[in-house]
Amino acid sequence: MNGFADKVAIVTGAGSGIGRAAALRLGSLGAKVVVADIKGGPETVEAIRRAGGHALCQPTDVCEPGEIEALVARSVEQFGRLDYAFNNAGVAQTNRRPLHELDLATWQSIMDTNLRSIFLCMKHEIPRMLEAGGGAIVNTSSGVVPHGYKNISTYVASKAGVDALTRVAAMEVAERNIRINSVNPGFVATPLLDAIIAPADQKRLIERTPLRKMTTAEDVANMAVFLLSQEAGHVTGQSVYVDGGINVSF
């Protein structure tokens, strides 16, 4: 895959799962990777460097607006430009209950992590990409968006918001050589899924998956990196499902 050599890419949530897999792939393709997370970042950087790539860790809580601003500023200070961003950090809704029984603190915390962070990341990334003459952004949404999943209202709403922001921002900057898309993973074998679905129940998900295997972090990371790449140069404003076909199988 061409076009990543010496380019600069931010990956949030890069300390684990999908984000780490994408950071490793971007590093292997020659990008200088800015690894952002509240934990696990140094280990990801170490793995990229061991494989011969370039990376730095910027500890970042995406719920803190100042830390997102500092993340983008550090990327440009350290590497001179910003070309790509994979805004991927997110949390599951572990407090599962009907909407009418849900507390405001749960709503606020999930919205801040999963949706407000995407707004703030793009708000700070886009001006730097304009300075670089263009760029590409991928936001992590979810395969739950079109469905009425019970008891995780805030998570579904937060990810529907990610798709909406992705479309609108994509239209706002299309003429200025910036593409913006989302990836919508199905059930991916990561610590996030382990927190909400027991391992025995995860096995049953495979039976529901038309391609008959669990989605891996690498499956999603490969699509995110493809959408960032020049090969996806005519793709913008899209939400791409990476789920082994579950989304169309109901």
Catalytic site includes residue 84: no
Residue 66: CB partners within 8 Å, gap ≥ 6? Answer: none
Task: Map residues 118-157 to x or -, x wherever contact with ligand NAD holds by CB under 6 A.
Answer: ----------------------x-xx--------------
List all residues 6 or more positions away from 159 whose beta carbon is below 8 Å from its beta carbon.
114, 115, 141, 142, 144, 145, 184
Contact 180, 84 (CB under 8 A): no
Nearby residues of 182 by Cβ (< 8 Å), 6 or more positions away: 138, 139, 140, 141, 162, 163, 166, 238, 239, 240
- Asked if 119 and 111 count as a contact pair (C-beta separation under 8 A), the reply is no
Region 31-50 residues binding ligand NAD, contact defined as CB under 6 A: 37-40
Note whether 218 binds ligand NAD by CB under 6 A.
no
The two tokens of residue 13 are 């949530």
H/E stretch holding 126 reads helix 117-131
CB closer to ligand NAD, 96 vs 132: 96
Least Cβ distance, residue 166 to ligand NAD (angstroms): 13
- Segment interacting with ligand NAD, rule: CB under 6 A, options 54-62, 120-128, 169-177, 203-211: 54-62
How many chain residues touch ligand NAD (CB under 6 A)?
31
Q: Which of residues 57-116 bind ligand NAD (CB under 6 A)?
A: 60-63, 88-91, 113
Closest separation in Å from C-beta 176 to ligand NAD: 26
CA–CA distance, 163 with 8 (Å, rounded to integer) = 24
Please tell me which residue in 84, 149, 155, 241 is annotated as part of the active site: 155
**Binding residues for ligand NAD, per CB under 6 A?**
12-13, 15-19, 37-40, 60-63, 88-91, 113, 140, 142-143, 185, 187-188, 190-193, 217
